[in-house]
Amino acid sequence: MPKLASLLESKLPANIVELLHAAGELAASGDAGTSEAYLVGGSVRDLVLGREPKDPDIVVTGNGPRFARALAEKIGGTVTSVSQFGTAIIDSPHGRVDVATARTETYSSPAALPDITPSTMDDDLQRRDFSVNAMAVSVLPGAWGDLLAPHRGFSDAARRRLRILHDASFQDDPTRILRAVRYEVRLGFSMAVDTAEALERDLPYLDRLSSARLLAELKKLLMEPKRADILRRAEALGIIGAISPALRVTESGLKAMEHFGTSAGEIDELLYVACLTSSLTGEEAEAVIARLQPDRDWQAVIRGAAAFRDVASLLESPDLLPSEIVELFARIPVPVIEFQRVAGPKTRQREHIEAFLRRHRDIRAETTGDELKAQGVPSGPVLGKLLLELKNARLDGRVSSREEELDLVRRRLPVLLGREANGGHAGGAGQGTRDQPAGAAVP
């Protein structure tokens, strides 16, 4: 078996190399109840492929959390979490490292979380998803860099081939279906024929995944730099429809993802959600939400495509006031508007969107609610209306200074208070229209 000693030293950051040496010495000393410690999984795969490995995972035989506590003490770190699966996380000046107990996994039913039993290193590699992820490198002082790849991971890496270790792998853990396309595209791999056949056959098992696990996997996918290509591949393999028949990827959604993906700066995950769900109807949006059960921000964005369609034709009006544009966009999440800026028609709608995103959405009145309260405006609906009127007057250029705002308050307050006293039915201009601006009703 090849030795990866020099790759370990050259590809891993120096602080992680030191940490691995410390782990190896601790295991060799026998002081932490184990004599074997390995770097495993994705970091080994990346080392073999000549890529920069990310978060290192260490596996020890015996008791991972016990080893993690001893290692944390040795390197001046702390164990921040211990899981029911015999894993622990160390945060240390050398960086973060995951430590796991070598284990076998059995699945009581397809897609269930696994039952685990501490076991040998060979068993631990046997339970993994793909051959290239089922490799380990010893960090013991006497065996530093020795590669353990009993499932032909090394030759699969050389052939850029993604291969499951046994026929029921996708059934045991259907998240592997999504992981497969993620790795294929990220690493420039192709699935082995048997693996691709098993994936296609086992697509219905995606239905058995909990919403939480499915959503977590989808989030990982959306964070990949090549997300659009991964989704294209997933669509071609029928994975998207198997997640939810209501979900589909569109070329305009993917193009927009590629556009955002190449922009500078950190991109909000929600922008990619907006791209992915840009063609959904209201009904489809509800079906996708029911399947994924995402948080409220995701839900709003998923519903946003249909909400945008409701106002799209109004956005073609030539003479919309800024306050009217802001009102039209009030219930549409910004990521959905950002998507439309990139993917929507280049008509007047686009001009209104640009104006909204560049200027209008940030415009506020100078006078605050607290200031109005200090001047005797009672909290409640009148205060809310007054603030909205001030903002709209600012947006439409009817006031441009604090003095003009206060003047507007002086004119409008008695009207609003009078209306309130009359049960809200007194006449007046409300928040103002083009023909009868706010304040026009004040004598």
Ranked by CB distance to ligand CTP, the top (closest) residue is 42
For position 133 contacting ligand CTP by CB under 6 A, the verdict is: yes
Q: Are strands 147-148 and 136-138 parallel, antiparallel or unpaired?
A: antiparallel
Q: What residues contact 22, with CB distance under 8 A and at least 6 apart?
A: 71, 74, 75, 94
**Positive or negative CA dihedral for 47, 228, 223, 202?**
negative
End-to-end CA distance of the chain: 92
Q: Using an 8 Å Cβ cutoff, are 183 and 189 in contact?
A: yes
CA nearest neighbour of 168 among 217, 120, 218, 109: 109
Give residues 178-207 in contact with ligand CTP (rule: CB under 6 A): 179
Contact flags string 334-363 toward ligand CTP, x per CB under 6 A: ------------------------------
For position 175 contacting ligand CTP by CB under 6 A, the verdict is: yes
Shortest separation between residue 183's beta carbon and ligand CTP, angstroms: 7
Shortest separation between residue 132's beta carbon and ligand CTP, angstroms: 8
User: Based on CB atoms, which residue is closest to ligand CTP, 166 or 434?
Assistant: 166
Shortest separation between residue 135's beta carbon and ligand CTP, angstroms: 9
Q: For residue 12, which amino acid is it?
A: L
User: Based on CB atoms, which residue is closest to ligand CTP, 20 or 387?
Assistant: 20
Stretch of residues binding ligand CTP (CB under 6 A), selected from 18-26, 125-133, 202-210, 347-355: 125-133
Q: How many Å apart are CA 73 and CA 381, to the nearest integer?
A: 59
Stretch of residues binding ligand CTP (CB under 6 A), selected from 1-9, 126-134, 295-303, 434-442: 126-134
For position 173 contacting ligand CTP by CB under 6 A, the verdict is: yes
User: Based on CB atoms, which residue is closest to ligand CTP, 36 or 129?
Assistant: 129
The CA dihedral of 65, 68, 72, 75, to the nearest 10 degrees, is 170
Contact flags string 33-52 toward ligand CTP, x per CB under 6 A: --------xx----------
For position 244 contacting ligand CTP by CB under 6 A, the verdict is: no
Choice from 66, 68, 103, 129 touching ligand CTP (CB under 6 A):
129
Stretch of residues binding ligand CTP (CB under 6 A), selected from 21-29, 127-135, 273-281, 350-358: 127-135
Q: Binding-site residue total for ligand CTP (CB under 6 A)?
A: 11
The CA dihedral of 386, 391, 392, 396, to the nearest 10 degrees, is 140
Q: For residue 126, which amino acid is it?
A: Q
Q: How many Å apart are CA 240 and CA 213, to the nearest integer?
A: 15
User: Based on CB atoms, which residue is closest to ligand CTP, 162 or 280?
Assistant: 162
Q: For residue 284, which amino acid is it?
A: E
Q: How many Å apart are CA 208 and CA 212, to the nearest integer?
A: 12
Stretch of residues binding ligand CTP (CB under 6 A), selected from 154-162, 174-182, 200-208, 360-368: 174-182
Q: Using an 8 Å Cβ cutoff, are 101 and 46 in contact?
A: no
Q: How many Å apart are CA 224 and CA 238, to the nearest integer?
A: 20
Shortest separation between residue 360's beta carbon and ligand CTP, angstroms: 40
For position 277 contacting ligand CTP by CB under 6 A, the verdict is: no
Query: What is the DSSP secondary-structure string of 20-72?
Result: HHHHHHHHHHTTTS-S-EEEETHHHHHHHTTPPP-S-EEEESS-HHHHHHHHH
Stretch of residues binding ligand CTP (CB under 6 A), selected from 27-35, 79-87, 170-178, 347-355: 170-178
Q: For residue 324, which amino acid is it?
A: E
User: Based on CB atoms, which residue is closest to ligand CTP, 64 or 322?
Assistant: 64
Q: Using an 8 Å Cβ cutoff, are 367 and 390 in contact?
A: yes
For position 64 contacting ligand CTP by CB under 6 A, the verdict is: no
For position 176 contacting ligand CTP by CB under 6 A, the verdict is: yes
For position 156 contacting ligand CTP by CB under 6 A, the verdict is: no
For position 431 contacting ligand CTP by CB under 6 A, the verdict is: no
CA nearest neighbour of 204 among 171, 180, 246: 171
Interface residues toward ligand CTP, by CB under 6 A: 41-42, 54, 57, 128-129, 133, 173, 175-176, 179
